[in-house]
Amino acid sequence: MSNTGGGRPELDLRLFLKELSSRKRLVSPSSMLKLEFQVARFIQEAQPSPILVNSEKGPIVSNLLASREALYLALNVSSDAEAYLQMSRALASPRKIELLETPSMASLGDDLYKLPIPKFFELDGGHYITAGIFVAKECDGNAINASIHRAMLLDENHLAVRLVPRHLYHMFTKAEKKRRPLRAAILIGAPPIFYLTAASSPPYGVYEAEVANSLAGGSLAATVDLLEGVPLPVPSEYVILGEFLLDRRAKEGPFVDILGTYDEVREEPVFKVHEILARPSPMFYSILPSGEEHILLMGFPREVTIWESVSKVVPRVHRVRLPVSGGGWLYAVVSIDKNVDGDAKNAILAAFAAHPSLKLVVVVDGDVNPDNPREVEWAIATRMQPDEDVIILRGVRGSSLDPSADQKSLMTSKMGIDATRPLGKPDWMFKRARIPEARQ
């Protein structure tokens, strides 16, 4: 196929992997690994380094977006502020895809057993596709949606797909009410920049590939030959074509969610495979559930929404972090500058409004590194008074991923901690002692 992306790593998984390899980040084992557990263990032990392994059914890549360095390579930025701003602008101004190509892909038939699909954890319900971007068009409508969903292998041409009640779920239920199957494509190993936008949540009707094209400055290419004229970003390592079946459900799970705990088994829609297409010598992209790549890919778009929201109520937001310790989902640290003491509490409320799944927010000053738990805890210990600087919200909706929340009503309580320096006291009382560089 043509050199899609013009040599830009964010537009081609193979070029992205090559760039990471040139930075001496790529890790590969010397021997073949089994799809059951061995691949998962290698991914886990290598993170955040990208990996390329050989399995009994073909090569697998993972940890491609498991570090800030890789994330910012995909966005072509060099700082947190630039990353937040670029993503925010692209979400607000999607761009139609004008570069159309007919990719060179071979048909593998409809047999999923030909693919190197791993089994990750000991109690998993089966082998799982975890880096599949599902693309579908609304039945009798124009809306197109792209989102990442886990899919459990049922047999050679059926998958049980976890559909949370968001956009693809809406499309599926609408099609089912009209008694029409919902056709869809599953892209595995798509352009890295598309993964970042497929993990985001723009309003219904905003096509995530067009957000990616905006980030790429109009350079994202697509094919319209595979799914009813829907632009599917290319190159992709695999494209699985098929449909969600009417009135068919199957048990999906157990499966490990982003917090590293097992999700419950549910009856989920069944996807029937019609055809599997692949690039020459394809590489299967897999994301370790609850791994650093899963956490960063899922958490970064929420960092952007928190940054946008908090920026409206304080003078400056330095960084937003959804740490691994909170599964990249339930806990946030926000680094700000403030003008008055009430700014930090406004930042707490803005963060909760931006990401309703949050259960804990800690706001710190700009001199505290939110990536360093020791510094964050130091700020809590030295700059916070419990009776003045802790906000408790009761009877609010939380996240289904929180095992401590009511799993039926999702009702929970939330806590915000203002760990910023009280402005009424002298600066010197809160400065950390530093040892200067030795003079020559």
Residues recognised as catalytic: 257
Per DSSP, 325 falls in state: G
Residue of 305, 355, 368, 288 lying closest to 326 (CA atoms): 355
Residue 36's CB is within 10 A of a number of other CB atoms, namely 15
Alpha carbons 157 and 160: distance in angstroms, whole number: 11
Beta-strand relationship, 99-100 and 221-223: parallel
Our separate counts of H helices and E strands in the chain read 11, 22
Residue whose token pair is 């402005």: 423
Residue of 398, 396, 410 lying closest to 330 (CA atoms): 398
Residue 406's CB is within 10 A of a number of other CB atoms, namely 11
Sheet holding 360-365, edge to edge: 316-321, 331-337, 360-365, 411-418, 390-397
Give buried/exposed letters for 288-306 (b at 16+ CB in 10 A, else e): bbbbbbbbbbbbbbbbbbb
Alpha carbons 4 and 216: distance in angstroms, whole number: 12
Distances (CA, A) of 28 to 55, 60, 71, 191: 12, 10, 21, 22
